[in-house]
Structure formats: C-alpha cells, structure tokens
Amino acid sequence: MGGAAVTEEFHPGFRNSVASYTVSLLQPKVIRELRLAQHGLRIVERPYSNFLPLDDGRYLRVGGGQEATQREFAKFSARDAERLPAYWAMLERVTDVLRELVLECPPNVGGGLLDLVRAAQAGRRVKRLDMEARRDLLALFTQSAAEFLDGWFESEPVRAAFGFDSVVGSFASPYHPGTAYVLLHHCFGEVNGRKGVWGHAIGGMGAVSGAIAAEARARGVEIEVDAPVAQVIVKDGKAAGVVLGDGREIAGRSVIGNLNPKLLYLKMVAREHLPPEFSARMERWKCASASFRMNLALDALPRFNCLPEAGPHHASGIILAPALDYMDRAYLDAREHGIARAPIVEMVIPSTLDESLAPRGKHVASLFCQHFAPDANWVTRKDEAIERIFGVIESHAPGFRHSVIAHSALSPADLEREFSLVGGDIFHGQLSLDQLWSARPMLGYADYRSPVEGLYLCGAGAHPGGGVTGAPGRNCAREVARDFGRRWRSR
C-alpha cells in the first residue's frame, strides 16, 4: 500500500523511504481535508535546501534565508547574489498561479459550457500577472532550464543548484527545451506554510500513505493490498467493476484507476471499448525517467572534502553535480552507453532529522541518481551503476565506501517491476508541454474521465502530474462526485 510513497526496513534496524523521499508538493488543502496531521503526519524542514560540494574544495549552500543564500552566492558572483531576490520573487509570482491551477480540473478541450468557464477562470488567473511575469511564465513552459537560468545567473554552481530539479525524473539534458518546466514543477509546493521548501515526513514517505489510509478507513473505506487488478469490467459501455489477478470480480458503480494511463487503458480495458484513435495516441504516451534509487545504511556521516565535520549541511539535499554541463554529459553518456560515467547524485540523510530511521549514532541515506537509461540491460549492469554512484560520492567524501553497512538499489527496470512505473517514469508520463494540463493524459480527457463511462484516471498521469501531491486524486474525486450528482464539500 502506498505506491511510490512507502517506508521499509531495508536492513535490520535501518528504515527509509523506498522510492519518493522528500515532501513539498503535498497540497496543504489535502493535508487539512484528510486530517493527515491528526493521523500523525509530521513534516519537518531542512536547515538548508541544498548543499553542493564542488571539485575545487569550495561549496555552495542554498537556503536558510535569503540573506544567508545571498552571502553564499556572493562567494561565486556578486551579480548572482544581487539577482537572487528578484529570481525568487519571480518564481513566487508564477508559482502562485500554478498553485491555484493545481487543484482545479483543467478545461477539457471539446467539452461543454463548464469547460469554457474553466478556461476563462484560468485565463483570468494568468491575466492577473503583469506582462513581465507572463513572459517569465511563457519562458518557463517552453525553454530549456539552461536557457532560462542563463537569463538570471552567471556562476556555474548557482545554475547547477537550481538546474538540478530540471533533470529529476526526466531523461533529459538541462539544455533540452521543456526542462525549465520540470524545474518549475518542483517549486509549487510548500512545507508548513513556507513556499518552495522541501521537507521530510517523520517516519519516511510511508507516513504520508499511512495517514491517508487511516482517514480512508475512518470514512468506511475497505483497503485490500497485494490484490493486482487484471481487468476493468465494461458492461453496456460503462465501467462496472474489476477482475483481480486471482479471478475474483468486484462490482462497482465506477472504477477509478491510480496507475500509469498507458497501463490502465492499454492493459486493463479491452480494445473494443476504446476508440482506436484514443488507443493509438495512448501507445505514444511518453514515459521515461533515467532514475536509479538507492538506500544506504551508514556507520557514519560522509566527511566532505570541503566541509568534513558534521553540520546542518548533512541535513540538506546534497547535490553532487557541480554544473549544468556535468548534467548534460551524464545525459549524453546514458544515451550512448546506458549509464552515466559520472552520474548526477542527490543524497539526503533523513536520519539527521528523524531518529526513528536508524539506530543511535548510525544513519540512513537516500540516493536519487540520474542518468541511467531505462532500456539499458539492468540484469547485468546494476553493479556497474552502483559503482559509478559510489565513485562520485567517494570523490567528494573520501572514505565514504567504508561507512556503508548495507545498501538496497532500484534500477529503472526495478522501478517498473515493483511499482508499475512504465519506463521507470516516476511521474507516470513525461512532464512535457504536450502532456500537461488540458493535454494530460490527452486532449479531450483532461477532466479525469475516459472514453468509457464511469472509468476515471486519478494518478500522476492526470493533471497536475507527478509528485506526492494528493492533487489528481482530489480533483478526480470532485468530478466523480459531480457525476454521482453529489455536492462537493471542501472541509
């Protein structure tokens, strides 16, 4: 239970989030309405957002307040330090619009009057932005992260710190058009009211799923796990239930799928129930991340060349990728050889904030690494990938390998097998302009409905896309309630 938001004990005494590992996009409204805090969910902030050790012995810390970050930027460029407040103000203006759109059903192209109203509402929101902010919005939706950041900052470490988000879960170079949006997608969240910040769920990401399950049970929902759905039953053109892998049938007035749309529509619904052009387009739904995920049990904190002693930097998102060109090379390598020779590594050590994860004095680390081609041979190349990742960490923190007590590793193929993430795609489909908003998962079906009456899509393959947000589920529930003739009440 919990999909990609789960915690497990991966070595005796060491627990950690298995796949997703950090929280920001989870919508405050969802937290409130589902009473997640009452069910024990506690999200804590990190002292710094990011820490970038550099090859020349210097480092960059981002976060801990605007002035502190400006001081850090000034180590590399006085101009970048000066520009930071304007950059953050711009992002806030743009993400404020995005935040409002996240919890709304996108206008459905070809829909009715309601969709015209939705389009007008969205238009009004954008109209509130001044012309400069509209230009920024357009740039963020169309440009590459590198092009966008070049317009703001000149120093490589600063561009790398912000550009890292543009390649997370996206098999792309930061020089690819469209990656600026992936960067933006990581900015519309908040932690305990602090916008744009990422935090840690005490107990790991399983605590998010556990709290949602507790509220569901409190409202009378029965949850069955390890019960794969094999097929959606369609009777007289309407969804009427599901057949489980063990042959059991469960009847229902509607079916709501929380899996990659490619799997729902191409594997679980018989072709005769879908228009051929719908199936043909769904075949072309783009899915590919190049992410490799590891958990480490550590005997000690890594001692970074640039800042060896234990400190707040160990509790931040540690990015081992000093420049956008480095990220580009990782992409090109993975395209050509399947595995980046020098991968992009983010290390988060949640046990610095959460004592429940490791024995006293020991630590757990999440490693989220790119780029590893989903179609590489993962039967034979997993150890090679681990070696490359460890090599990068070792180059910044000598002796690190000796501190590893145990590890677990998920290649893109493992992510596909264990979590049904097609192409290892952590977002259930690329976050490209042709697969966003009214086009997610397809023009004409952005309102969580499908060509089969009573069949809905409510996961990351629907608007607003990937991340532990709670948003597609909430938006879909509102549409289902509408079809059931119920009034939607927001708590």
Ligand X SMILES: Cc1cc2nc3c(=O)[nH]c(=O)nc-3n(C[C@H](O)[C@H](O)[C@H](O)COP(=O)(O)OP(=O)(O)OC[C@H]3O[C@@H](n4cnc5c(N)ncnc54)[C@H](O)[C@@H]3O)c2cc1C
Would you tell me which residues interact with ligand X (CB under 6 A)?
Answer: 3-5, 19-22, 25, 228-229, 258-259, 263, 291, 293, 368, 415, 419-421, 426-428, 459-460, 466-468
Smallest distance, ligand X to C-beta of residue 341, A: 21
Specify the residue, 211 or 259, whose C-beta has the smaller distance to ligand X.
Answer: 259
Angle between helices 66-74 and 78-102 (to 10 degrees): 140
Specify the residue, 163 or 466, whose C-beta has the smaller distance to ligand X.
Answer: 466
Smallest distance, ligand X to C-beta of residue 135, A: 28
The encoded tokens of residue 451 equal: 């060509």
Measured distance CA(299)–CA(308) in Å, rounded:
15
Q: In sequence order, which residues have a C-beta less than 8 Å from that of residue 380 and are 6 or more positions away?
A: none
Measured distance CA(249)–CA(458) in Å, rounded:
21
Nearest to 26 by CA among 38, 16, 18, 34: 34
Smallest distance, ligand X to C-beta of residue 58, A: 27
Specify the residue, 30 or 307, whose C-beta has the smaller distance to ligand X.
Answer: 30
DSSP-based three-state secondary structure for 288 = coil
Strands (E) in 135-212, as ranges, are: 190-191, 194-195, 199-201
Nearest to 199 by CA among 208, 188, 190: 190
Specify the residue, 133 or 240, whose C-beta has the smaller distance to ligand X.
Answer: 240
Measured between alpha carbons, how far apart are the two ends of the chain, in Å?
25
Residue whose pair of structure tokens reads 């681990």 in the numeric block: 386
Query: Residue with the closest Cβ to ligand X?
Result: 3
Smallest distance, ligand X to C-beta of residue 181, A: 15
Amino acid sitting at position 255 = V
Smallest distance, ligand X to C-beta of residue 188, A: 11
Smallest distance, ligand X to C-beta of residue 409, A: 11
Smallest distance, ligand X to C-beta of residue 425, A: 8
Measured distance CA(126)–CA(135) in Å, rounded:
11
Specify the residue, 133 or 357, whose C-beta has the smaller distance to ligand X.
Answer: 357
Specify the residue, 111 or 467, whose C-beta has the smaller distance to ligand X.
Answer: 467
Specify the residue, 24 or 143, whose C-beta has the smaller distance to ligand X.
Answer: 24
